Amino acid sequence: MAEEDPQEQLLQAQILKHTFGFVYSFVLKCSIELGIFDTIHNNRGNPMTLSILATSISNTILSISNHKLYRLLNYLVHMGLLQKHVTFAVEGEGRKEEPEFSLTDLGEFLLKDGEKSLASWALAIIDEGDMGCWHQLSSCCSSKDDQRTAFERIYGASVWDLAAKDAEVNRVINDAMAGDTRLVMPAFIQGCSSVLEGIGSMVDVGGGTGMAMSMVAEAFPHLKCMVFDLPHVVATAPQLSHVSMVGGDMFQSVPSADAILLKFMLHNWQDDECVKILKKCKEAIPKEAGKVIIMDIVVDSEMENSDLTHSKLSLDIDMMITSGGRERTVEEWERLLDIAGFRSHEIIPIITIQSVIVAYP
């Protein structure tokens, strides 16, 4: 009988874990759609038994099998999103074991209306329309002349062109960006208020529905705030007090202001396009005291924990197949800003996946 190698078994398990990595994504999507996190949260902070949770979901969303729900909940426990407790219910003259489930701190981030919810962001990444793009990843790695993204190969248009025509695609993108804004802007406002010293006006280029600028306007009432985005985005954006909305093309010109904000936007574009955007932003700010404030990912795998690096590198591949953009290292950001003509910059870490990069003309 061949001698078993425990190390080989672990290596096989690691390969299978990578092979089934998509299960994490789809269990996450299913759980958000079924309202599992919100249903447990709405139970006044108390754990919920399997039977009560199943009844609640069946009454509000869809009829659900207790047994299948139990298997889903066990996977969420495995993912660290739920905690499982064992209770005993009286049944006749005996007692029957019945599991209860509660949210973990990690699961709190998936409440749909949570202050720091990532639910809309998760649903956008795992959107059915995007999932097919991943099967085109090999083609995206080609060095041939056809440099279309996987998204463009499947839909015949870029993400942004399709969003201009399809209201649902536009909504999914805007909801995801709003979710990101709820996380990053409080961290920016609390940790980088000095960046806005001496600034009287600010334009959020690619600012979507204006949530980021409305938060800035509330925190800094003296600032004149504007959102500049594509006309179809501005057309569906809500009216905001103290924030003006202007439609246009950032590759043509950018409205003048003391500071320009580029929040989680440059990673959507290739280097040449980023340089064009940065040059237009540089033209729009004062030569002496102007600032371009970039909120984007800075990859530094040697200084980060593995989960953070995994998230950043995963987003990098996601950019490759969807928008054609990329995530960048410190050196790559320095090169971009140098080519665009900025004399200096500083990188400020904040408590989100993004960093703040302040560029000076």
Q: Which residues are catalytic?
A: 267
Amino acid residing at 229: D
How is residue 254 written in tokens? 């950018």
DSSP, collapsed to helix, strand or coil, labels residue 341 as coil
- 358 phi and psi, to 5 degrees? -105, 120
How is residue 287 written in tokens? 């030569």
How is residue 352 written in tokens? 């989100």
d(CA 341, CA 290): 13
d(CA 185, CA 209): 14
Asked whether 220 and 200 are in contact (CB, 8 A), the reply is no
Burial of 326 (0-12, 13-18, 19+ CB in 10 A): buried
d(CA 14, CA 77): 19
How is residue 338 written in tokens? 């140098």
> From residue 330, how far is each of 296, 302, 340, 349, 355 by CA, in Å?
11, 12, 16, 12, 11
Residue with token string 């003509």: 341
Burial of 74 (0-12, 13-18, 19+ CB in 10 A): middle
Closest CA to 314 of 27, 116, 24, 34: 24
Residues facing 153 on adjacent strands? none
Report the length, in residues, of the chain: 361
